[in-house]
Amino acid sequence: MCSFLPFFTSFNRTKGGLIELNHGRPQPLQYVVNAAFLATLYSDYLAAADTPGWYCGPHFYSTDVLREFAQTQIDYILGKNPRKMSYVVGFGNHYPKRVHHRGASVPKNKVKYNCKGGWKWRDSSKPNPNTLVGAMVAGPDKNDGFHDVRTNYNYTEPTLAGNAGLVAALVALSGDKSVGIDKNTIFSAVPPMFPTPPPPPAAWKP
């Protein structure tokens, strides 16, 4: 968790603020959303354990720092970035229109195409005829750049791993810590942060 925080230099960030968990290599967003989910989950666990924060070396950080990290990363993905681009298809007014996805790029014309039959749409520069609503694409490069090109899957390909992480992060962030956490459910089988203190000693009598 400490490595996610901007106070440390374990990972670089783009100028727009996106953490580079895959060290500047392509398709970064699948790693970012899963980190956002884990950070929020750990924050909720600390809250369930009545623990206000944790230590990174000699420095103490509150659970709010983890949620802030997760929120800023999700905000970037949804459009708070230098390109004002939402990387989730169908969210906002400016999102990828040429997603690297067969179902989105092949028109619905009641014709069955074999594998190679769809290549002419894969290689087309026209926007997808079918909007893949809710799909998160691979994302920008380390310079916050993005190319909405269907054949360049490093930018426009959605993945199950990425979209599963996105949904998990959005659900985790959908309620703040004031909502409350049921301590008898998700965290009931997780060991406590600290051992239970011993009972107080019996009253002393001379």
The maximal CA–CA distance of the chain, rounded, in angstroms, is: 95
Task: Please tell me the predicted confidence (pLDDT) of residue 206.
Answer: 58
Residue 100 is among the residues annotated as catalytic for this protein: yes
157 as an active site residue: the answer is yes
Encode pLDDT of 179-189 as tens digits: 555 655 666 66
pTM: 0.86
Backbone phi, psi, residue 103, to 5°: -65, -30
Question: Contact at 8 Å (CB) between 83 and 140?
Answer: yes
Q: What is the pLDDT of residue 45?
A: 87
| Residue tagged active-site, from 100, 101, 141, 147 | 100
The whole-number pLDDT of residue 63 equals 92
> Tell me, what's the pLDDT at 189?
66
Sign of the dihedral defined by the CA atoms of residues 142, 144, 145, 149, in that order: positive
Residue 34 is predicted with a pLDDT of 98
The predicted pLDDT at position 182 comes to 61
The pLDDT value recorded for residue 150 is: 96
pLDDT attached to residue 137 = 98
Positive/negative CA dihedral, 90, 32, 26, 115: negative
Q: What is the pLDDT of residues 77-87, one digit of tens each?
A: 999 999 999 99
| Distance of alpha carbon 11 from alpha carbon 22, whole angstroms | 9
Determine which one of 20, 68, 144, 148 is catalytic: 148
Tell me whether residue 20 is one of the annotated catalytic residues: no
Which candidate in 44, 101, 141, 157 is catalytic?
157
CA distances (Å), origin 57, targets 1, 18, 46, 54, 170: 12, 24, 18, 10, 30
∠ Cα 22 54 176 (to 5°): 80
Q: Which pLDDT does position 4 carry in this prediction?
A: 95
CATH number for the segment(s) 2-179: 1.50.10.10
Assess contact for 37 and 172: CB atoms under 8 A: yes
> What are the tens digits of pLDDT across the range 113-144?
888 888 888 999 999 999 999 999 999 999 99
Average pLDDT, consecutive stretches of 10 residues, N- to C-terminus, the chain (206 residues): 91 97 96 97 86 90 95 98 98 97 89 84 92 97 98 97 97 74 64 67 65
